[in-house]
Structure 1
Amino acid sequence: MDEYLPFVLQKAEEIKDSEKVIKLYTRDCPYIDEDGNGFWGSITLDHPASFETLAMEPEMKKAIMDDLERFLKRRDYYRRVGRAWKRGYLLYGPPGTGKSSLIAAMANHLKFDIYDLELTSLHSNSELRRIMISTTNRSIDPLL
């Protein structure tokens, strides 16, 4: 039992992750999520981007993928030192340079939902803080 039960639990988690439907959440979405949450509406993210399809320098792509994998493995470390299990990336550039495709590739790779937030719609730091707290841990939160 000491070996079997952890094995079964791990396989169940792997199956759940492989079948996870990735959602794109937004505050202005006309759809209400399945929990009836009107604050964040959601739709299914159906974006084909992956790290294999991204037009990006191979070294940079590998560095990002390695960083994401390291982040995933360090969840217990974050908990132990009392830090939020969050990872931030600052993406900048003109429209059409692949920022949204990179975010979609990251979400597809990690099986994380995306919470899309338009910063110009906010009026204070406390409002931003309240909104960010309402997102889940396993999510990507691009601030546009």
Structure 2
Amino acid sequence: MKQEEKVLKIYTRHILSWEDVFEDGNTEWGSINLEHPATFETMALEPDLKRTIVEDLERFVSRREFYKKVGKAWKRGYLLYGPPGTGKSSLIAAMANFLKFDVFDLELASIRSDSHLKRVLLSTTNRSILVIEDIDCCKVDVQKRKHDSDSDSDSDSDSDLETEVT
């Protein structure tokens, strides 16, 4: 009953001050009520695809204890793509309304390092949907990724490289 009465929220990050961001990534999540009317009943979606998504979500939610038992993180990922106006945001809202999960909207452009990203992700709540929009437009430092995989030490040069998300 408590889950049925839950008011869903959509969270975005608010920067407390630019100085804090450069020092320790001091940001907080602000929220508003998610009042999007989308449901799987109202979505214009191919019936077989809709059924597949709903069954996948139900299977995921029902297997939480299994994930815990085998020592895996209880998470599920979807890659949504397409031009603007094709229903990606409505599908996310339908998923949130179906699962009764809050939504966290993250802009990777506001993330300055891998450790900053980790802190931001850990600040989200359980039973939520994390949306990372326009992930294809984000700059990724491939040289750092190659350097990290080649390096076994925690030298000062490694920490100097931690300025971009890999």
TM-score range, shorter chain: 0.7 to 0.9
Q: 3-state SS of the aligned residue for 2:131?
A: coil
What is the aligned length?
A: 123
Kindly, what percent of the aligned residue pairs are identical? 64
Question: What is the aligned partner in structure 2 of residue 140 from structure 1?
Answer: 129
CA deviation after TM superposition for structure 1 residue 29, in Å: 8.8
Q: Following the alignment from structure 2 to structure 1, what is the Cα–Cα distance between the partners of residues 50 and 118?
A: 30
User: Matches of 2:61 and 2:119 in 1, distance apart?
Assistant: 25
C-alpha offsets along residues 20-74 of structure 1, whole Å, 9 cap, x if unaligned?
00000000399xxxxxxx6100000000000011111111111000000000100
Unaligned runs of 5+ in 1: 1-14, 31-37
User: What is the RMSD computed on CA atoms of the aligned residues?
Assistant: 1.5
For 1:126, the equivalent position in structure 2 comes to: 115
Q: Does 1:88 align with 2:88?
A: no
- Trace 1:44-123 onto structure 2 (pairs within 5 A): 44-123=33-112
Asked whether the 8 Å contact 2:15–2:28 carries over to 1, the reply is no
Structure holding more strand per residue: 2
Q: Match for residue 20 of structure 1?
A: 6
Q: Letter of the aligned partner of 1:122 in structure 2?
A: I
1:1-40 to structure 2, matched below 5 A, reads 15-28=1-14, 39-40=28-29
For the residues of structure 2 that align with 1:74 and 1:116, how far apart are their CA atoms?
Answer: 25
What is the aligned partner in structure 1 of residue 150 from structure 2? none
What is the rounded CA distance, in whole Å, between the counterparts of 1:58 and 1:83 in structure 2?
31
TM-score, normalised by the number of residues in structure 1:
0.81
TM-score calculated relative to the size of structure 2? 0.71
> Is there any run of 5+ residues in structure 2 with no aligned partner, and where?
17-26, 134-166
